[in-house]
Homo-oligomer: A and B are copies of this chain.
Amino acid sequence: MTAYDALMRFQRETEALSAVAERLAWDQETMMPRAAADQRGEESAAMEAVLHARRTDPRLAEWLEAIDDTALDATAQAQLRLIRRGFARASRVPADLVAALARQTSVAFGVWAQARAADDMAAFAPTLTDIVRLKREEGQALADGGDVYDALLDDYEPGASSAELSRMFDALRPPLVALRERVLDRPAPATLQGRFDAAAQLELSRGLAQAFGFDLDGGRIDMSVHPFSSGGGRDVRITTRTLPEDPFNCIYSTIHETGHGCYEQNIDAAYQLTPLGHGVSMGVHESQSRIYENQLGRSRAFTGWLFARARDTFGDIGVADETAFYAAANGVHRGYIRTEADEVQYNLHILLRFDLEQALIRDNLQVGDLEAAWNDRFAADFGYAVDKPSNGVLQDVHWAAGLFGYFPTYTLGNVYAGCLHAALRADLPDLDAQMAQGDLSAATGWLRDKVQRHGGLYSPRDLMTRACGTAPSEAPLLDYLESKYSALYGV
C-alpha cells in the first residue's frame, strides 16, 4: 500500500467515526430521553477522545511526509490539502487546552441558559471571560504569529480574513441601516391569521423539502427545539419545528435546512467519507440554505404557488391573495432576536456580533463592558433599545459554546447567496415561470451543478468565482434587497 492509500484508509475510518459522533449529537437533540444527559455526556466525551487521538495520530505526520503531492491528480491533491490543514491545526493546540475548552464550554452551556432565563448578564460574565481567554489562547496557538481572530475564523471559513470581511460588511451596513429605516417607517403588512395544525404544517413542509430536492430515501426530517441539519452522503437529517400561530416558521425553517441538507446530499458520491465529502465552509453552506429559503422560497413567483398550497392545507389563512401572502412572507417587523429576523435586519444582527467578538478576542473589549457595547450598537443600527439581556447579549448560544468566528459566516453566506442568485437568474430566464408552478428543479439543479457537487474540491472563494463568473461581492445582495423591499414597501 502506498503512503497515500494508507493515509486515505485511515482518514476514511476517521470520517466514519466522525459521522457516528455527529449522529449522536442529532440523537441528543431529537430522540434522547431527558434523564440520559449525564450518561450521554460520557458517551460524547469518549467519542471526542477517540477522534482527537486519530486527528493527532503520529502516523499522519509520517504518511504526509512520505507523500509527493505533485505526483498526484488534482482530486488527490485537494484531499491532501484538507488533511494537511486539519493535521496542522489539530497539532498546534495543546491537549490540555483542548480539554480545558471542552470542560469549560460544557459547563458554560448550563450557566448561559440559567443567566438567559434570569436576564442576568453578570451571572454569565465570569464564565464567558474564561471562555474568551481560552479561545484567545487557542487562536494564538493556531495563528502562529498571525491574527488571533483570523486563526479562529479559519475554522469555519478557510482562507477568509477579518480584513476582507470587514471591508464587505462595512459596505453593507450603511445601506442596510438606511433600508431598515425606510421600511420600518411604513405600515407593516398583514400577518397570517388562524390556528395551524402541527401535523398539517409538517406534512406541507415535508412536501416543500421534496420540492426543493431533499431526498427522503437518503434523509429524514424530525422535530427539534432549534432546527438544524446533520450528516452527509446518503444519511442527511434535518429538523424543523412548528408554532401554532405561525406556519411560516415551520415552512421556512424547513426550506432553510433543506438547503443545507441538499448540499450534503448532492456532493459527488465519490467523495463520500473523505475530506472532500463535506460542504467546503460554513459560509458556502449558509449560501445554500439562504438562497433556498429567501431568494427562491420567499420570491413572488414561488410564494404565489405556495399560497394555493397553504390554502389547500389550512383553509382560510387570513390573507386574501397571492400579493398579500407574499407581503406576509416578507414582513419586516421590529424585533430583538437574530433567528427571527427578516432579510433586511438579519445581517445587522451579524455585523454587530462580528465587531464585538473581534474586540473580545483581540482584548479590545472586556466582558464586563460587553452588554453596554451591545446595547449601544443595537440602538444605533436598529433604532430602538434592547429591553432585556435575553433579547440582547444573552440571546445566542454561540459564545457559550466557544464558537468565535462562526457568526460572520452567516452574513458571508447571504453575500454568496446574492452572487449566486444574480448568476442563476442570468442563466435561467424562465425561473419565475417555473417557480410559479412550484417547479424548483432548474434552480436547484443549477446550484447542484455549480456549487454542491464539488464538496471541498475548491476553496470557498474559488468555488464562488467559478460558479458566478466573478469574485464574491456584497453588491448583488444589496441590489436584491433594495429592489425587493423598495417595491414591497413602496419606499
Contacts and interface: CB of A to CB of B under 8 A. Distances in A.
Looking at A13, A217, A220, A233, which has the most chain B CB atoms within 10 Å of its CB?
Answer: A13
A120 interface: no
B272 A39 contact: yes
Nearest to A53: B50
Contact of A234 (B13, B35, B273): B35
B235 A17 contact: no
Nearest to A12: B42
A422 to B, nearest CB: 34
A225 interface: no
Contacts of A167: none
Given A24-B20, A24-B23, A50-B17, A234 B33 contact: yes
B33 A235 contact: yes
A27 B24 CA distance: 10
Contacts of A219: 33
Q: How many of these chains are in the complex?
A: 2
A27 B33 contact: no
Contacts of A40: 235
A235 B39 contact: yes
A33 B273 contact: no
A142 to B, nearest CB: 25
Interface in A289-307: none
A19 B32 CA distance: 13
A277 to B, nearest CB: 10
A428 interface: no
Contact of A49 (B13, B34, B49, B235): B13
Contact of A39 (B19, B33, B46): B19
B217 A33 contact: yes
Contacts of A218: 33, 35-36
A471 interface: no
A237 to B, nearest CB: 8
A32 B235 contact: yes
A404 to B, nearest CB: 26
Looking at A16, A19, A215, A272, which has the most chain B CB atoms within 10 Å of its CB?
Answer: A16
A327 to B, nearest CB: 37
A478 interface: no
Nearest to A19: B43
Contact of A20 (B12, B31, B32, B43): B43
A317 interface: no
A13 B52 CA distance: 14
B217 A34 contact: yes
A49 B17 CA distance: 10
8 contacts: A12-B42, A16-B46, A17-B47, A17-B50, A20-B46, A33-B217, A40-B235, A50-B50
Interface of A: 12-13, 16-17, 19-20, 23-24, 27, 31-36, 38-40, 42-43, 45-47, 49-50, 215-220, 233-236, 272-273
Given A16-B43, A16-B45, A33-B235, 15 more contacts: A13-B46, A13-B49, A16-B42, A17-B50, A19-B39, A19-B43, A23-B27, A31-B220, A33-B216, A33-B217, A33-B218, A33-B219, A39-B272, A40-B235, A42-B273
